Structure 1
Amino acid sequence: MNYADNDIIDNEAIHNFEFFVDGHRSFIDYKTRDNRIYLIHTEVPEELEGRGIAGVMVEKVLTYIEQRDMKLVPLCAYVKAFLKRHPEWNRLLA
């Protein structure tokens, strides 16, 4: 299944990027400081595991960061692993 049409939602009140699929909420915790965004933790519910949701979500968040000219500080293990597999995104690193 393709989730390209699903939007990432910046829920600033709770510092989460949210991604909804089939009524389930996946998210990435973040903090911002001095035009840097720290991606802290990625979570996908069990119901959605194994469907590539985390990768799609991370890519959408990286696009969001780039569009706002922010710099990335990856603290999340999943985001770090994603960057190893997709080094073209290293251009965002602080």
Structure 2
Amino acid sequence: MNWIALIFAGLFEMFGVLMINKWHKEKTGKALLLLIVGFAVSFFLLSYAMETLPMGTAYAIWTGIGTAGGTILGMLYYGESRSWQRLVFIALILVSAIGLKLIS
């Protein structure tokens, strides 16, 4: 259950990052509220996951999901570079996260 919470924590972090971009562009109360809710849920789920998972592993996976997911969403929705180098390093993040799961 804690691994599922950790995955959702990473997804909510991705949502929070999207809302940062939305708030930066629109400066609306709704965007700010969604930003706060996204990160609050993310931190709550990360805290829950860390009750049984090692801190280093949980934090690495959480930030990996947020980093890789945010980068992919930036490529898909905001026209950020899709160079092969960026894709290779995203793959390295994902492989590292899977490796941490396998040894934990």
Whether the TM-score (by the shorter chain) exceeds 0.5 is no
TM-score, normalising length: structure 2? 0.32
Higher helix share: 2
Task: Tell which structure's C-alpha radius of gyration is larger.
Answer: 2
